[in-house]
Structures are given as structure tokens and as C-alpha cells.
């Protein structure tokens, strides 16, 4: 077999998953909350939001970092890294993957984040201004860096294969998973810990997103603020979260007797090359990413059973994504259930594609599709089956997960029920 043939035949599967989300800590808790239509959005508690245009968020409440890392390490790690270590612990436990001298050089870690340790940066800036440079923590720089989550995970679990952070705004988590799968597919690793983490519910982030009019202003009704595809949507709700997947080369996973949850069947990436923040109105870039994911999966529109949409609850994104779905899937687009779990979690930026990948795989494993809550008034520009009536029993074999980021970054992942 030639190297190129071998690469094409190398399959990538998922053997473990972990999440930290506004609706639950852990995969099962988060999944059950989503299927029940439970909302994780409320008025911000981590600082006084009164002066801000948007005063709500999807906060992770009840997270105790010392449940996952020692107290000394807590003081020198940013919150997004703490989330990543917690989610990785869950994913590795489920996977049962043992990293030791026999394989450590072949296990990679790829973790995306849109912004990284923003809160640390804000606090360090205040310290510099008020107390001077000598009072800055020596851990300031490594706590801020986006790549430090991947570095900390590698140190914790002893993985010394390919390792980096990835930044593509709100597509970061999806790109990290897709690129990790490609690393395994081409033979540069036999396994990768991959995903995205974000913790940017800070005054700077909320203020900046508010100033660009990206966030919902429904401050008097936070639970109904995130309403993807609804005619009354007025912006997204910022959130924090983390999602981590353990990816492995299929034959290696099977030989060690791993429980295989699903296959990463395809991955597509593209750029809008259009605007700093707005999506290309026809969904052209999103369409290319979806088409490429299907091509890589060897699949067509007829094979798609469910779409976990990017669905941010912004007027422009939801209309452009709907147009892209219709363009790729044609008449079948109206028959495929689509849901935006951001209606319950809010938009966790660089973590969104990762937690939604976990939710996409859970739909395959569990045979349920979570709803899009808060959908009340149809929008003529958004006319697909958005699963608005509550959880739906489905047996999806192929699921698409869309993620689109500021700057025109697009990613689509295709997950498939494993078929030998």
C-alpha cells in the first residue's frame, strides 16, 4: 500500500469526551440539561454588569478548580486552562487511553481558544497601573497565552506529540478538532487530545462586544435572550465553557479494546474573505466548509441526518447559515433536524465548536436531538426544521457541526456512527 493510500484509509475515532458548560459540569449532566431544554443564561454574577449594554451571560457556576488540580496550580493557571484540565480529566477517564513511554511521543494535544487568559490580562494591567511593574506575577505571561492550555494538558498527562494552541475566533474549537484529526490521519500521531476552552466573561470582553452591538440587549429577560433563528433575535449571549475530545487512530483504538463513540468522518475549512465580523450574506464560505466536510467523509446530502448549527442568535449569522445549509443540501435541507444549543448555553466563542462537537456525538450515541429553545416567531429568512418543540428522538448516522468565527473563519465537522 502506498503512503497516500494508507493515509486515505486511516480512520479517526472518538474514544473520550469531557465538558464544562453553563448547563452542567461533565458530559452527562450537560447533555441531560440540553435535552430537557434547561437554560444556563442569567444575569452576570462575576462582576457588576449594571453599566454594560448587555448584562447577562452563560456562566459556569459551581466549578471548583481544586476538584481537578492542586491548590498551588490553581493560583498560576487562568480559568480557561482550569476548564481545559477538568474536561480533559473526564475525557481521558472515559477513553481509558494510557500515555506512557511506549506512546507518549505519538500523542498530541491541540486546544483552541478565541482569547485565552483575558481576565489575567485585565487584572495585570490594573496591577501595572496602580502598583507598578514589580508587583506583576511571574506567571502573568504563561497564564495569558492561548497555547498554555495545550501545554498544561501535555504536562499533566505526559503527551509529547504535536502540541499547539489554535486561534480562529469562534471556530477555534472546531478547527482544533479537525486539525487534530488530520494530524492522526497523516500519521504524525496515533492519538490527540483536542478541543477548545474559553473564559471571557470579563468587563473588557462584555464591554467590547456590547460596543460593537454584537450582544443581546434583553437584560430584563435573560432566559429568553438567546433565540437562534427567531425573528426577534437581537444578538448573541457571551458564555464560557470547554469541550475536549480524545481522538485516536481507529485500528489502534480497536486493538486496545476502547469504547468507540463515533468517527470523525470529515472536516472542512474555509474563509469568507469578506468582513471583519459579518458573515458573507449568501453563506458562500460556510457552504464551502460544509461541502468539503461531506466530500472528506465520502458522503452526500442524502446521508446527513442532523445538523448542530452555529446558530448564534444574531440577525446576520442565522440567515447566512440557513442559506448555506439550503445551498449544500438542496431540498433535503427542509427534512433535516437543525438545532442550536447556544439557545441554552450561550455562545462560548472559541469553545463553542468543541462543546457542540460533544453534543453532536451524543446525538449519535443517545439517539436524541436537543431543541432550539426560545423560538417563537418565524423569520422568512430562516425556514428550516429547527427542532423547536422539545427534544426529538432521532437515530442520526451522520451529523454536521458548523462553527463560524469573526474574521470569516469557517469550520465544519462531520461525525459518523461507526460502521466497520
291, three cell numbers: 461541502
Those residues whose C-beta lies under 8 Å from the C-beta of residue 21, and which sit 6 or more positions away, are: 30, 40, 58, 60, 241, 242, 243, 345, 348, 355
Catalytic residue (one of 35, 170, 242, 412) = 170
Q: Is residue 261 situated within a structural domain? A: no
Q: Any catalytic annotation for residue 170?
A: yes
Of 225, 271, 244, 209, the closest CA to residue 405 belongs to 271
Based on the domain organization, do 116 and 250 belong to the same domain? yes
> Could you list the mean pLDDT of each consecutive 10-residue stretch along the chain, which spans 420 residues?
52 98 98 98 98 98 95 95 98 98 98 97 96 96 97 98 98 98 98 98 97 96 98 98 98 97 98 94 96 97 97 98 98 96 98 98 98 97 97 97 97 91
Please indicate, yes or no, whether residues 185 and 323 belong to a single structural domain of this protein.
Answer: no
Q: Could you say which DSSP state residue 385 is in?
A: B
Is 212 found in the same domain as 292?
no
Largest interatomic CA distance in the chain:
65
Distance CA 267, CA 110 (A): 15
Please check whether residue 410 is in contact with residue 271, taking contact to mean a CB–CB distance below 8 angstroms. Answer: yes
For 44, phi and psi rounded to 5 degrees?
-60, 135
Residues contacting residue 355 through CB under 8 Å, at least 6 positions apart: 19, 21, 30, 173, 196, 241, 242, 243, 341, 345, 348
104 DSSP assignment: G
Asked if residues 246 and 191 have their Cβ atoms less than 8 Å apart, the reply is: yes
Which DSSP category does 323 fall into?
H
CATH of the domain at 315: 3.40.47.10
Residue-by-residue DSSP string for 158-224:
T--SSEEEE-BTBTHHHHHHHHHHHHHHTTS-SEEEEEEEE---SHHHHHHHHHTT-B---TT-GGG
Quick check: 199 and 80 in contact, CB under 8 A? Answer: yes
Q: Are 295 and 268 contacting, i.e. CB atoms less than 8 angstroms apart? A: yes
Last residue of a domain, which of 228, 255, 282?
255
Residues 190 and 211 in one domain: yes
My answer on whether 148 and 213 are in the same domain is yes
- Residues 297 and 374 occupy one common structural domain: yes
Helical segments of 69-117, H only: 71-74, 79-95
Are the beta carbons of 177 and 413 closer than 8 angstroms?
yes
Q: Is residue 262 part of a domain?
A: no
How many domains is the chain partitioned into structurally?
2
Question: CA 200, CA 146: separation in Å to the nearest integer?
Answer: 12
| Residue 192 domain-assigned (yes or no) | yes
Q: Tell me what pLDDT residue 4 has.
A: 47
Domain boundary pick from 192, 227, 255: 255
Place of cell 443564561: 41
Known catalytic membership, residue 192:
no
Q: Is residue 391 part of a domain?
A: yes
For 304, the domain range is: 267-416
| First-last CA distance in the chain | 20
Q: Which three cell numbers stand for residue 142?
A: 504563561
C-alpha cell at 82: 482550569
Residue 390 lies in a domain: yes
Any domain includes 104: yes
Half-sphere exposure (CA, 13 Å, Cβ side) for 137? 17
Say how many C-beta atoms besides its own lie within 10 A of residue 133's C-beta: 8
Residue 119 cell numbers, joined: 481576565
Indicate if 251 and 273 belong to the same structural domain.
Answer: no
Distance CA 217, CA 96 (A): 44
Burial class of residue 100, CB neighbours in 10 A (0-12, 13-18, 19+)? exposed
CB atoms < 10 A from the CB of 71, how many? 8
Do residues 67 and 216 share a domain?
yes
230 and 349 inside one domain: no
- Assess if residue 260 is contained within a domain: no
Report which of 268, 285, 272, 287 is spatially closest to residue 327, judged by C-alpha positions. Answer: 287
What is the spatial distance between Cα 277 and Cα 273, in angstroms, rounded to a whole number? 11
Annotated catalytic residue, options 242, 310, 382, 412: 310
In a domain, 14, yes or no: yes
Catalytic residue among 175, 192, 347, 382: 347
Q: Is residue 409 flagged as an active site residue?
A: no
The answer on 280 and 390 residing in a single domain is: yes
Query: Would you state the cell numbers that stand for residue 265, as one nine-digit string?
Result: 468522518
406 and 339 in a common domain: yes
Nearest partner of 351 among 216, 255, 243, 191, judged by Cα: 243
Q: Which of 197, 221, 255 is the last residue of a domain?
A: 255
Q: CB–CB of 214/236 below 8 Å?
A: yes
Same domain membership, residue 229 and residue 273: no
What is the spatial distance between Cα 370 and Cα 32, in angstroms, rounded to a whole number?
Answer: 9
Amino acid at each position: 500500500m502506498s503512503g497516500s493510500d494508507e493515509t486515505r484509509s486511516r480512520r479517526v475515532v472518538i474514544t473520550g469526551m469531557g465538558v464544562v458548560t453553563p448547563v452542567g459540569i461533565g458530559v452527562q449532566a450537560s447533555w441531560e440539561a440540553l435535552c430537557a431544554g434547561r437554560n444556563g443564561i442569567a444575569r452576570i454574577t462575576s462582576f457588576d454588569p449594571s453599566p454594560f449594554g448587555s448584562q447577562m451571560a452563560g456562566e459556569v457556576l459551581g466549578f471548583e478548580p481544586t476538584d481537578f488540580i492542586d491548590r498551588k496550580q490553581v493560583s498560576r493557571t487562568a480559568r480557561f486552562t482550569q476548564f481545559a484540565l477538568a474536561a480533559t480529566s473526564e475525557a481521558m477517564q472515559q477513553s481509558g487511553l494510557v500515555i506512557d513511554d511506549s506512546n507518549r511521543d505519538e500523542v498530541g494535544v491541540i486546544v483552541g481558544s478565541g482569547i485565552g487568559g483575558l481576565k489575567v490580562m485585565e487584572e495585570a494591567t490594573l496591577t501595572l497601573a496602580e502598583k507598578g511593574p514589580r508587583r506583576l506575577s511571574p506567571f502573568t505571561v504563561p497564564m495569558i497565552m492561548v497555547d498554555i492550555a495545550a501545554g498544561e494538558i501535555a504536562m499533566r498527562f505526559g503527551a509529547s506529540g504535536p502540541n499547539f494552541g489554535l486561534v480562529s475566533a469562534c471556530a477555534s474549537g472546531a478547527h482544533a478538532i479537525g486539525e487534530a484529526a488530520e494530524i492522526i490521519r497523516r500519521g504524525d500521531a496515533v492519538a490527540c487530545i483536542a478541543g477548545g476552552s474559553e473564559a471571557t466573561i470579563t468587563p473588557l470582553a462584555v464591554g467590547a462586544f456590547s460596543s460593537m452591538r454584537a450582544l443581546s440587549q434583553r437584560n430584563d429577560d435573560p432566559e429568553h435572550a438567546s433565540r437562534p433563528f427567531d425573528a426577534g433575535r437581537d444578538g448573541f449571549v457571551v458564555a464560557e465553557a470547554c469541550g475536549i475530545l480524545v481522538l485516536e487512530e481507529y485500528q489502534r483504538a480497536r486493538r486496545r479494546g476502547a469504547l468507540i463513540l463515533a468517527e470523525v468522518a470529515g472536516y472542512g475549512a474555509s474563509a469568507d474573505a469578506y468582513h471583519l465580523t459579518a458573515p458573507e450574506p449568501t453563506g458562500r464560505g460556510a457552504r464551502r466548509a460544509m461541502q468539503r466536510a461531506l466530500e472528506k467523509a465520502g458522503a452526500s446530502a442524502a446521508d446527513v441526518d442532523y445538523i448542530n448549527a452555529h446558530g448564534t442568535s444574531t440577525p446576520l449569522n442565522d440567515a447566512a447559515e440557513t442559506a448555506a445549509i439550503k445551498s449544500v443540501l438542496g431540498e433535503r435541507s427542509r427534512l433535516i433536524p437543525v438545532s442550536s444549543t447556544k439557545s441554552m448555553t450561550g455562545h462560548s466563542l472559541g469553545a463553542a465548536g468543541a462543546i457542540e462537537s460533544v453534543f453532536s456525538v451524543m446525538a449519535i450515541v443517545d439517539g436524541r436531538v436537543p431543541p432550539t429553545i426560545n423560538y417563537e416567531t418565524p423569520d422568512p429568512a430562516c425556514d428550516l426544521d429547527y427542532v423547536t418543540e422539545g427534544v426529538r428522538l432521532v437515530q442520526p448516522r451522520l451529523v454536521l457541526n458548523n462553527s463560524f468565527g469573526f474574521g470569516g473563519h469557517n469550520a465544519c465537522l462531520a461525525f459518523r456512527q461507526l460502521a466497520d
